Amino acid sequence: MSTPQIEIQWIAALVAVSCAIPGVFLVLRKMAMVSDAISHAILPGIVVGFLVAGSLNSPLLIILAAATGLFTVVLVELISKTRLVKEDAAIGLVFPALFSIGVILISRNVANVHIDTDAVLMGEIAFAPFDRLVVWGYDIGPQNAWVMQAILLLNILFVFLFFKELKLSTFDSGLAASLGFAPVAINYALMSLVSVTTVGAFDAVGAILVVALMIVPAATAYLLTDNLKTMLFIAVAIGIVSAIAGYWLARFIDASISGSMATMCGFLFFVVFIFAPQRGLLSILRRTSRQKLEFAQMTLAIHIFNHSGENDNLEERRKSHLNKHLSWDKKFSEAIVQQSLNKGLIKLDGELISLTEKGQSFVVAAQRLISSKNHPEFSSLRKEFIIFSE
Amino acid sequence: MDYYDFFTGLFTDYTTQVIGLGTAFLGLMSGVLGVFAVLRKQSLLGDAVAHASLPGIAMAFILSGTKNTLLIFGGAALAGWLATFWISSIVKNTRIKSDAALAIVLAVFFGFGLVLLTFIQRMENANQAGLETYLFGQAATLLRQDVISMGAIAAFAIIVILLLWKELKLITFDPQFARSLGFSQRWMDMVVNTLIVLSIVIGLQTVGVILMSALLIAPAAAARQWTNRMSGMIVLSGIFGILSGVVGTGISSVGNNLSTGPVIVLVSVMIVVISFVFAPGRGLMALAWQKNKNRKSLALNTLLQGMYDTCRSHQNIKHEHSLAIIKTLPGYNRKTLKALRHEGLVSITKENEWCLTDLGISKAGEAIKSGRMI
């Protein structure tokens, strides 16, 4: 690997990690689309900042553009406060307007702004190693890497110092307010952080793909853990993996690096979305089908129990009657009867179903449970009568 | 070309007519369908769908090798539709909320689209020049057959809306009631989502994938301010959409080489701002006026009742008070007192003292008794 290659991957990983950290809080606070709004809306700020400062990596530009991001958040809040439109429409109006202004400024080539719309959409991470930071005659690396290192440090410091406040205001802002933790201040601090990070990442990956790096790793981590700290670490790891894998994918097919990074993020999310233990699509489907079978066995047992009196019509307990009474089709009845037989809940006398002793105590326990509506006990019931092993 | 050329061209010049007609179809369609998106609080779904259609456009080009409008529309619609499907699947099956689901699908599809687009740029195919116009839109690239396709889609969507008018109204305003009548949630979502996808697709060439969502939201948000009826809102939103499309295209073709999308979006947002400020009833000015009126009438009431109470503590209900005493009453200010006098509720004597008139006494008595304002 050549030095520029390593530097590009270093910058890509820095961007991914810096984005993933605030992203976790955006996902948990249900504010993911705010990052979309900010990333579009900072464009005019960047153009104006570029006119003033002359470089995409100047601190002045970062502050100016980040201020535009914060301005967007405030504007959206002001508009939704008038109740003329709902919040989602307010977001959807503000950022395209600001983004349009930015695009027009760029395409009118105001005072030779050297950013074209391609850079706006995809960033220029491939060229990042050419912008060197030279201090006292020494070349200490790409400018953008230093900018991102500073922003990453800021992100880590913020989360480290205000972890308790962030956590509380994210999960229970009412409690946070009543305990004097100033959730509003924390919110604006977080929005400032998102804005600064977005601006820093803009140079590398452009306006829109920042959203992928902020939200997708965090959402993927959200499917894998219940613990905030673990979620932060998983999101960071996923960010790094997508950044590096994205870089190599882009090299391999000779396409946009930032686009490939977003694609890898999406790929990882998709894999987790399907296969995650407990929260993945597959385990959800498996769980629902298992619950359906369990419930059917319970229904069958209760049905037989209800018709086991001396004077009851034997017809009700016939296997072939199930489809009429419980509106089960023949195959399903057959399967449920077989499963209950295997579990020893019922016995068959030709066509006639009756409960075993185990089946009877199962019904008693189940009925008690249903009438008490005490859900946690269901797992003990499951263990005791092994309706369907886990 | 200047503005005069463009707008006379709408009536005389064939190319301008084609472009004008195309943007009018687009504005009409997004205006009409945006109403459902905005009222169902799905404004941002349009944003996700629009971004997500990019890989569909690129895929259609890679697979067919041509820039056939219908194929591109088809690819975009398929990708957009897949996006809505994936978003609802994420929201339904996981604990990820809809905002994050939108952001995920939007960014990932768009990123993948950019990968495909850069991949196409390196293919040896001269035809590819121009796929970039789908990013920010270029109305000048509209050809006769594009406009015909757009018109066909717009006509189809509007027929669907007319046929399903009652149902759409029901699922927009009271989805719970609709469910209780036996409409399935999935069916309802699918119809509206498909309509939104179609309206996005129709605008891709003119407005572009990035800004199309704004054209969906803005006319509807503006129309909402002027009327409370859905039929009125749809008509108005359609008109605003056409206006944004045609005027925006005009401005962009005058300022040469300007992408159409951003200009159309800014025009539509201007309409929103004007509506926010000036709409009667809901607009900010109307609200401020109403608030001012309420404040004045509250001050009048307070002062009148204060004077009434003070007078009642005297033998004579028409007891006169000097200005110094009236000044101590709650709600007093010069204008309020003047207004009371103007309304004939109080009068001033020759000794410069104030007293209630008969009308003032009866009004104040009534107001106190009924608890209502005068």
Tokens 């009236």 locate to: B326
Residues in chain A: 390
* Predicted local confidence at residue B372, as pLDDT: 66
* Predicted local confidence at residue A22, as pLDDT: 95
Under a CB-based contact definition with an 8 Å cutoff, are residues B54 and B120 in contact? no
Q: With a CB-CB cutoff of 8 Å, which residues 136-155 of chain A face chain B?
A: none
> CB B103 to CB A30 under 8 A?
no
Under a CB-based contact definition with an 8 Å cutoff, are residues A300 and A337 in contact? yes
Which residues neighbour B267 within 8 Å (Cβ) at sequence distance 6 or greater?
Answer: B243, B244, B247, B248, B251
Using a CB-CB cut-off of 8 Å, the residues of chain A touching B113 are: 259
Across the interface, which of A85, A107, A258 has its CB nearest the CB of B221?
Answer: A85
Mean pLDDT of the region B232-239: 94
Q: What is the pTM of this model?
A: 0.85
Q: How far apart are CA A41 and CA B344, in angstroms?
A: 56
* Predicted local confidence at residue A373, as pLDDT: 58
* Predicted local confidence at residue A269, as pLDDT: 96
Across the interface, which of B43, B90, B114 has its CB nearest the CB of A89?
Answer: B43
* Predicted local confidence at residue A213, as pLDDT: 94
> CB B119 to CB A215 under 8 A?
no
Q: How far apart are CA A215 and CA A31, in angstroms?
A: 10
CA distances from B135 to A45, B206, B261 (A): 21, 9, 9
* Predicted local confidence at residue A38, as pLDDT: 92
Hey, of A117, A215, A258, A283, which one would you mutate to test binding to chain B, going by the most B CBs within 10 A of its CB? A215
Band (B201; pLDDT cuts 50, 70, 90): confident
B266 touches chain A (CB under 8 A): yes
Residue B49, token pair as written in the block: 């769908």
Residue B328 distance to chain A (closest CA, Å): 36
Closest Cα to residue B354, out of B335, B340, B343?
Answer: B340
Residue A299 distance to chain B (closest CA, Å): 26
Give pLDDT tens digits for B112-156. Answer: 999 998 888 877 665 555 677 788 888 878 888 888 888 888 898
Q: How far apart are CA B135 and CA B51, in angstroms?
A: 9
Q: What angle do CA A26, A30, A33 make, to 5 degrees?
A: 75
Write the single-letter amino acid at B284.
L
Mean pLDDT of the region B278-301: 86
Q: What angle do CA A33, A38, A42 make, to 5 degrees?
A: 160
A256 touches chain B (CB under 8 A): yes
B213 touches chain A (CB under 8 A): yes
B19 pLDDT more than 50: yes
- For each of chain A's 390 residues, which pLDDT tens digit applies? 678 888 899 999 999 999 999 999 999 999 998 888 999 899 888 888 888 877 777 788 888 888 999 999 999 989 988 888 888 889 989 999 999 998 888 877 654 556 677 777 777 787 778 777 777 777 778 888 888 999 999 999 999 999 998 999 888 888 888 888 888 899 999 999 999 999 889 888 888 889 999 999 999 999 999 999 999 999 999 999 999 999 999 999 888 899 999 999 999 999 999 998 888 889 888 888 888 888 888 888 888 888 877 666 777 777 777 777 777 888 888 888 888 888 888 888 877 888 888 888 888 887 777 766 555 556 666 656 645 443
B321 phi and psi angles, rounded to 5 deg: -125, 150
Write the single-letter amino acid at A24.
V
Q: Which residue has the higher pLDDT, A236 or B187?
A: A236
A142 DSSP assignment: E
Residue B319, token pair as written in the block: 């007891």
Give pLDDT tens digits for B58-106. Answer: 999 888 877 778 888 899 999 999 999 999 999 988 999 999 999 999 9
> CB B108 to CB A35 under 8 A?
no
* Predicted local confidence at residue A172, as pLDDT: 86
Across the interface, which of B90, B94, B99 has its CB nearest the CB of A31?
Answer: B99
* Predicted local confidence at residue A197, as pLDDT: 94
Residues in chain B: 374
Q: With a CB-CB cutoff of 8 Å, which residues 14-43 of chain B face chain A?
A: 38, 41-43
* Predicted local confidence at residue A388, as pLDDT: 46
B223 pLDDT more than 60: yes
> CB A84 to CB B218 under 8 A?
no
Which residues neighbour A327 within 8 Å (Cβ) at sequence distance 6 or greater?
Answer: none
> CB B96 to CB A265 under 8 A?
no
> CB B108 to CB A216 under 8 A?
yes
* Predicted local confidence at residue B16, as pLDDT: 80
> CB A100 to CB B255 under 8 A?
no
Across the interface, which of B104, B116, B276 has its CB nearest the CB of A215?
Answer: B104
Percent above pLDDT 90 for chain B: 25
Give pLDDT tens digits for B343-362. Answer: 778 888 777 778 888 788 88
Q: How far apart are CA B18 and CA B10, in angstroms?
A: 8
* Predicted local confidence at residue A14, as pLDDT: 94
B343 DSSP assignment: T
Q: Is B374 helix (H, G, I), strand (E, B) or coil?
A: coil
Mean of the per-residue pLDDT values for chain B? 85
Under a CB-based contact definition with an 8 Å cutoff, are residues A384 and A368 in contact? no
Give pLDDT tens digits for B243-286. Answer: 999 998 888 877 666 778 889 999 999 999 999 999 888 888 88
Under a CB-based contact definition with an 8 Å cutoff, are residues B176 and B22 in contact? no
Using a CB-CB cut-off of 8 Å, the residues of chain A touching B111 are: 208-209, 212, 258-263, 265-266
Using a CB-CB cut-off of 8 Å, the residues of chain A touching B210 are: 40, 96, 99, 121, 208
Under a CB-based contact definition with an 8 Å cutoff, are residues B301 and B373 in contact? yes
Hey, of A76, A88, A194, A287, which one would you mutate to test binding to chain B, going by the most B CBs within 10 A of its CB? A88
Residue A54, token pair as written in the block: 């002359």
Residue A146, token pair as written in the block: 């230093």
Closest Cα to residue B280, out of B203, B207, B228, B346?
Answer: B228
Residue A108, token pair as written in the block: 């009118």
